[in-house]
Amino acid sequence: MAGRLAQFTPPLADVPGDWKPAWNISPGQRLLILRKTGNQLECARVLWNLTPGWLKDLSRTPFSVNAEVMHDKPMFRQPLVERRCLIPVDGYFGWRVQGKRKQPWYLRRREGGLAIAGIWERYSLDENTYWDSCALITVPAKGLPERLGYRMPVTLNRAEQTIWLASATAPSALQPLLLNAESRVDMMYPVNPAMSNPATVGPHCCAPSGHPVTVESPV
């Protein structure tokens, strides 16, 4: 699963002016998403913790949701149909238990970034004050992420990204799209355990501390 993200490459030329590169984003912090506004692709900076407008207990804001149950839960059903987004990342982190400690690993593509499927929401405080938020979507792990755990974020290829963001996509087609998407990760490597602390920031969070594992590497 991905409880930390790295987002240091601007996904579009036009990004919010207050955005800064980040190498160790944790839930509750702000990140960039891509969403359709009319026919335009918009880059927005939002909170990574889904916050529907009706939610009273703000301690119950999820940062991820399982694709298998999205249609069944009121918190996710409407944004799945109406407010889909992509979370563009350079990579994400997973942990593997090694003895009595958890070793963090950084998962990425050898070339280019990843587009994680997500949903977004808007929480209004009054008529003129609101904040937007998001959650990423997970599925059973496959490929390299399966070597670290049971779940992985949904990473979409370009064709799947277009279908995911299109308002014309039938709701019945969304869950199969998520569940059938292959892992786009083709490289992962261990990183310094210090990045497990959310206060640890900087490019060194994504620097290898051991040999990389690729899709060609033996299990």
Contact 38, 216 (CB under 8 A): no
| pLDDT at residue 95, rounded to an integer | 95
Which tokens in the block code for residue 105? 């690993």
**Residues linked to residue 208 through DSSP beta bridges, in sequence order:** 191
Q: How many CB atoms lie within 10 A of CB 147?
A: 15
216, part of any domain: no
218, part of any domain: no
pLDDT digits (tens, 9 = 90+) for 146-155: 999 999 999 9
CA angle 115/121/124 to nearest 5° reads 145
pLDDT digits (tens, 9 = 90+) for 44-94: 999 999 988 888 777 778 999 999 999 999 899 999 999 999 999 999 999
Contact 153, 181 (CB under 8 A): no
Place 217 in a pLDDT band, splitting at 50, 70 and 90.
low
219, part of any domain: no
State how many domains the chain has.
1
| pLDDT at residue 1, rounded to an integer | 60
217, part of any domain: no
pTM listed for this prediction: 0.95
Q: CA–CA separation, 192 vs 80, rounded Å?
A: 36
Alpha helices in 20-157 (DSSP H): 74-82
Sequence-separated (6 or more) residues with CB below 8 Å from residue 131: 46, 47, 51, 122, 123, 125
Q: Which residues constitute the domain of residue 67?
A: 4-211
167, part of any domain: yes
pLDDT digits (tens, 9 = 90+) for 199-209: 999 999 999 99
Query: Could you tell me the CATH number of the domain that includes residue 83?
Result: 3.90.1680.10
